[in-house]
Amino acid sequence: MERNATAVERVQGLDLRDYLTRFDYRQFQPAQPPETRHTLTIDGQEYEINAIAVITEIDSYKIVTYRLRNDKFCEVLYTAAGELANQAEDFSQVIYARMGKVFKLGKLNGGACLLYLLKNY
């Protein structure tokens, strides 16, 4: 600050406070990250995801249980690599035989997926 001060500023005896008050403090605030909203859509009803509750592995697939903002839970089927399961393959019989659940077509953030809406967990 001393090296960059003009002769007039030196004579006036300006200090750090004087220097800092020249600027709008909002210029130095970190930018807020854009709010990320994750949603599930099943039977035309959209639900906002609150958090991941549980991850269960079955054969070469993962079932991720999401807690929704309305305190319900929904399970989404993923491959072992963490990608949404392909609906062209029929996993419903395997899942039903192992877990007694029938997954439906739905959407996760607009992408097609297989999911199962739980009433309570």
Q: Domain count of the chain?
A: 1
Domain assignment present for residue 3? The answer is: no
Q: Is residue 17 part of a domain?
A: no
Residue with tokens 């549980």: 54
In a domain, 23, yes or no: no
The better pLDDT of the pair 34, 65 is held by: 65
Report residue 27 CA to chain centroid gap. Answer: 28
Q: What is the pLDDT of residue 121?
A: 44
- Average pLDDT in the 52-62 region? 86
For Cα atoms 115, 78, 42, give the angle at the middle one, nearest 5 degrees.
Answer: 20
pLDDT of residue 88 exceeding 50: yes
Residue type, 68: L
- Whether 59 is covered by a domain: the verdict is yes
**Within-domain flag for 2:** no
Residue 95, SS3? helix
Whether residue 33 lies inside any domain: the answer is: no
Expressed as residue numbers, the domain containing 96 is 39-118
Which residues touch 110 (CB under 8 Å, ≥6 apart)? Answer: none
